[in-house]
Amino acid sequence: MKRRLLLLVPLLIFLGLGFFLYRGLAMDPSARDSALLAQEFPAFTLSTLEDPDARVNESLLQGEVTLVNVWAEWCPTCKEEMPQLLMLAERGVRLVGINYKDTRTKGREFLDTFGNPFEVNIFDPDGDLGFDLGVYGVPETFLVDADGIIRYKHTGYITPEDVEKVMREVERWRS
């Protein structure tokens, strides 16, 4: 009897670990809420990608609903996402980019190749602003309302199917 119990314990541990592994793999990372929802966009002062002497801060994100997209030249899904961001910009959505852990040269080359939907690109070479935003992979997109409050987060790239969902969120916070 004791021997059977000793054999049962590892089996139960294995099944328990398998259950939690399955749950973790089945989760949709884009459905994960950000701890920053309903919080002010983190304070920052950084230069723009285009001009090392031009400094911007969080006040850039006030006054108008804005999508803030964290992207990088080395990110393959950022390339896939660019047509959707260009489409959102054409539809009147204000976009601000955060060039994350990149070099200026590579960031500019990326935009020259794939298009630039952004009104401004914030240059975050060390990833400090990304860290403050809780970015754990790029791309990530935040919707910031006219008061500078984060209202929505999209983890992963925006697919063609996601464009309408993002537009609904933009319209929701515009009104």
Q: pLDDT digits over 30-88, tens only? A: 445 567 899 999 999 999 999 999 999 999 999 999 999 999 999 999 999 999 999 99
Domain boundaries, the chain: 31-174
pLDDT of residue 18: 66
Work out the number of other CB atoms within 10 angstroms of the CB of residue 70. Answer: 24
Mean pLDDT, all residues of the chain: 91
Burial of 72 (0-12, 13-18, 19+ CB in 10 A): buried
pTM of the predicted structure, to 2 decimals: 0.82
pLDDT of residue 5: 64
CATH number for the domain running over 31-174: 3.40.30.10
